[in-house]
Chain A
């Protein structure tokens, strides 16, 4: 909050105010798909009081978190191996390159038929999508560590393990953090999609059902809530990344 941008905040307020005016009396009055901010706030109150919003948020966050944890763990291990071992790279790189290009959404119907409409299926779908950015960043990180660092270890008589633990791994931390941030965002995105395609729950399904019921204000509530989640997540991740990188970003 130290760097609260007053002018930027004022612009947002102004846009919302203009939107309200335009939606009530102006050119947007006849556009049903775009309700006024006032109507959206009212719908927000309804969704809160009928008890449907909070469980949806909890479900989405919970699935996205589990998917992100699986993806970060798997992506880190595979990525570090890929970066460090030329043998592993030789055997697996082409497979990873092909698999990586398959859009995560396209395998969701397949996973639904294979594993059924379970939260487990959502987690698997989300983690598959989120593993790639983690893996790619971890592998690139290892390969971009300057060879001088290992020579420093050699000069001081370090074993290979000691070089890996004391020098290489800490040097890769910035890349791991970038990968983790992307993985979390990707996991959230894939979870919303999975909720639309695999299990009708959470914010993803809330969006679809509001659309089907032509509840425009409710639909916008979900959009705004998704935006908040993304925003808060980005602030939290930036803060965590800052604390895990003493000495500044590299």
Chain B
């Protein structure tokens, strides 16, 4: 009903080749308590330019899934293909944006120098400057490029991390609860910064969130991940939801449309929101 009731002004992209293909992927992590299965039987396909949200409670292995996609953790079983090739190590063109920007940024560098980090030694200085300028513009941090991070708000610091990722022109952006540590208003404005970036960019975006509204507002498709890793129930995908809301989306109007509310209802049921 959600998909039928509206006109879809974006062409179907099912014809494009998949960026990620996961077939029955399982991931184990070894800690002090021995090896534990964190994720099992994860199968999903992500196409180019898609925005895919993964939503789930704490302890369902969301972050582990993101680390596997980014090549930071190797799968224990199944097939994890990026552009048709198995992932080994951190693949080029795939950039992870971490939730804890405080640990992921370099406080001894200015904003511009932080953004330049991945480019240094790989291209001419003039080209670095050009790319850094463009990335800083696209996250609306112009004027702050010579400031150190300690004079920036949390939202601004997360924008620096996004700019640093954009500077390498990534094919895939993996975002691990990117706005989780920010207040609601900052979050909303960064969501729109991200959507605006994506509207003139070819990057595929996969993000994790525990915020149902964020998942629906941003994504073309949302997956629900369920399980309870600490109780021996590895995380698995329990729902796939097509989010066929028109773009560009609007913080107020999109969120009050009947389709949006229907999707939110479905998602809330799937994640058993009423359980508290």
Interface stretch of the complex, out of A58-66, A129-137, A143-151, A193-201: A143-151
Name the one of A149, A154, A245, A250 contacting B90, with C-beta atoms under 8 angstroms. A154
* Contact in complex: A248, B148 (CB < 8 Å): yes
CA distance A151 to B171 in the complex (A): 19
Nearest-CB distance from A145 to chain B (Å)?
A: 10
Nearest-CB distance from A226 to chain B (Å)?
A: 35
**Residue on A nearest B161 in the bound complex, by CB:** A152
* Contact in complex: B150, A155 (CB < 8 Å): no
Name the one of A151, A173, A246, A250 contacting B72, with C-beta atoms under 8 angstroms. A151
CA distance A59 to B250 in the complex (A): 74
- B84 CB contacts on chain A under 8 angstroms: none
* Contact in complex: A248, B150 (CB < 8 Å): yes
Residue-wise interface mask of B (91-131) relative to A, using a CB-CB cutoff of 8 A (1 in contact, 0 not): 01011101010011011111000000110100000000000
* Contact in complex: B96, A155 (CB < 8 Å): yes
Nearest-CB distance from A65 to chain B (Å)?
A: 27
Is B56's beta carbon under 8 Å from chain A?
no
Is B168's beta carbon under 8 Å from chain A?
yes
Interface residues of B in 51-103 (CB under 8 A from A): 70-72, 89-90, 92, 94-96, 98, 100, 103
| Contacts A148-B100, A246-B148, A248-B148 given; does A155 touch B107 at CB 8 Å | no
Residue-wise interface mask of A (169-206) relative to B, using a CB-CB cutoff of 8 A (1 in contact, 0 not): 01101000000000000000000000000000000000
| Contacts A156-B168, A166-B117 given; does A149 touch B104 at CB 8 Å | yes
- A103 CB contacts on chain B under 8 angstroms: none
CA distance A200 to B71 in the complex (A): 64
* Contact in complex: A157, B108 (CB < 8 Å): no
**Residue on A nearest B121 in the bound complex, by CB:** A162
Is B149's beta carbon under 8 Å from chain A?
yes
Name the one of A148, A152, A171, A247 contacting B150, with C-beta atoms under 8 angstroms. A247
| Contacts A148-B103, A247-B150 given; does A154 touch B168 at CB 8 Å | no
- B107 CB contacts on chain A under 8 angstroms: 247-248, 250
**Residue on B nearest A245 in the bound complex, by CB:** B108
CA distance A166 to B121 in the complex (A): 12
**What number of A-B contacts does a CB cutoff of 8 Å give?**
55
Name the one of B98, B108, B120 contacting A173, with C-beta atoms under 8 angstroms. B108
Nearest-CB distance from B74 to chain A (Å)?
A: 13
Nearest-CB distance from B102 to chain A (Å)?
A: 9
- B149 CB contacts on chain A under 8 angstroms: 247
SS class of chain B's interface: helix, strand, loop or mixed? loop
CA distance A248 to B148 in the complex (A): 8
Residue-wise interface mask of A (224-250) relative to B, using a CB-CB cutoff of 8 A (1 in contact, 0 not): 000000000000000000000111101
Nearest-CB distance from A248 to chain B (Å)?
A: 5
- B71 CB contacts on chain A under 8 angstroms: 154
Name the one of B72, B92, B120, B150 contacting A157, with C-beta atoms under 8 angstroms. B92
**Residue on B nearest A246 in the bound complex, by CB:** B108
Residue-wise interface mask of B (140-156) relative to A, using a CB-CB cutoff of 8 A (1 in contact, 0 not): 00000000111000000
Among A157, A247, A250, the one with the most B-chain Cβ atoms within 10 Å of its Cβ is A247
* Contact in complex: A170, B90 (CB < 8 Å): no
Nearest-CB distance from A157 to chain B (Å)?
A: 6
Nearest-CB distance from A221 to chain B (Å)?
A: 43
CA distance A155 to B174 in the complex (A): 11
CA distance A152 to B102 in the complex (A): 12
**Residue on B nearest A174 in the bound complex, by CB:** B108
* Contact in complex: A155, B148 (CB < 8 Å): no
CA distance A170 to B94 in the complex (A): 25
Name the one of B72, B95, B148 contacting A156, with C-beta atoms under 8 angstroms. B95
- B98 CB contacts on chain A under 8 angstroms: 148, 151-152
* Contact in complex: A247, B148 (CB < 8 Å): yes
**Residue on B nearest A147 in the bound complex, by CB:** B103
- A154 CB contacts on chain B under 8 angstroms: 71-72, 89-90
Nearest-CB distance from A146 to chain B (Å)?
A: 4
- A157 CB contacts on chain B under 8 angstroms: 90, 92
| A/B interface sample: 24 pairs, CB < 8 A | A146-B103, A148-B98, A148-B103, A149-B103, A151-B72, A151-B104, A154-B71, A154-B72, A154-B89, A155-B70, A155-B90, A155-B94, A155-B95, A156-B168, A166-B117, A170-B106, A171-B106, A173-B108, A245-B108, A246-B109, A247-B107, A247-B148, A248-B107, A248-B150
With A170-B106, A247-B109 given, can you name 15 additional A-B contacts, CB distance below 8 Å? A148-B98, A148-B104, A149-B106, A151-B96, A152-B117, A154-B71, A155-B90, A156-B117, A171-B108, A173-B108, A245-B108, A246-B148, A247-B148, A247-B149, A248-B148
Chain A residues proximal to chain B, CB less than 8 Å: 146, 148-149, 151-152, 154-157, 166-167, 170-171, 173, 245-248, 250
Q: Ordered nearest first, which 4 A-B pairs have the shortest CB separation? A: A247-B148, A156-B118, A148-B103, A146-B103
